[in-house]
Copies of this chain bind each other. A is one copy, B any other.
Amino acid sequence: MGATFKEFSNQYKELLESNLRAEMQTLETPQILKDAMIYSLEAGGKRIRPLLLFATLAAFNKDPKMGLETASAIEMVHTYSLIHDDLPSMDDDDLRRGKPTNHKVFGEAAAILAGDALLTYSFQLISTIQSAQTTADTKLALIAEFAKAAGAEGMVGGQVADMQGEEKQLNLEELEYIHVHKTGKLLAYSVIAGALLAEADDSLIDKLRAFSYHLGLAFQIRDDILDLEGTEEMIGKPVGSDEDNHKSTYPSLLSMEGAKNALEEHISAAKKYLRETALNTAYLEDITDLIAVRDN
């Protein structure tokens, strides 16, 4: 792995984005649906989840390209979740990454259906992985874990808990339930999917699961800190919007200093589990650092 992380991440981000475009091109469906799907898929973003998957494959000295379908599927599910979260009956957001949200452009019905279609297509993608290196049983394991991470016991469950927790004082356990599910499960899946594609054994998968658990919480704590300490330009939404919405956050429960300590602890626990894998984890460490210090 001679490439720097920046080169690695540019290369695979580009590969991912061109694959997403190619997949959408072939779809035979009403134009407005296609446009709505493409609009949100191409709205940018850090592509953290696909990069986690590619970096996990690199850690196993596997060709990251073998994760292309699964990485695309994960980004589709992440995108659908943003479209549905932004809806008027959910967070009612008009802007996402500085651009009008999907339902603002295409209307609420098309936005709901574009989300449904992206979610559905993600499973089609994994079920039709072409690579001869990936066995049918691995594909089935990828699908089963994906559905679990994205569904009622994962991301969707977390979104429900988040909505129920609004305007209510949560304790730390309740706050963690929300974040472990709403954002953590899909981040963790991105790592686990890489390990499944690399046919890792269970003890390695357990270590990577522990790594991604701490990574996911670090990601969320940093998000809460940024909401208070970032600038509007950095975070693409008004500073302090969580506070204005009376949302429970890590700084509100732990104080800002406590939240920063918790962030440090999760980052260092994540790195400890990474080291224990004894894999080639340079890129995964880079992503971990990126999450700890990211400013958007």
Q: Which residue of B lies closest to A158 (CB)?
A: B30
Question: With the chains together, A136 CA to B143 CA distance in Å?
Answer: 12
Closest to A24 in B: B152
The proximity string for A residues 14-54 relative to B, scoring 1 for CB distances below 8 Å and 0 otherwise, is 00000000000001111011100100000000000000000
Residues of B within 8 A of A153 (CB): 27-29
- Cβ 8 A contact of A160, one of B110, B128, B147: B110
Chain B residues whose C-beta falls within 8 Å of the C-beta of A37 in the assembled complex: 152
- B90 adjacent to A120 (CB under 8 Å): no
Q: A119-B119, A160-B30 are in contact. Are A128 and B144 (CB under 8 A)?
A: yes
**What are some 30 contacts across the A-B interface (CB < 8 A)?**
A28-B153, A28-B157, A29-B156, A29-B157, A30-B160, A30-B161, A30-B164, A33-B156, A33-B160, A84-B112, A84-B113, A89-B107, A89-B109, A109-B163, A110-B160, A115-B116, A116-B116, A116-B151, A116-B156, A117-B152, A120-B150, A120-B151, A120-B152, A121-B151, A123-B123, A123-B143, A124-B147, A124-B148, A128-B140, A136-B139
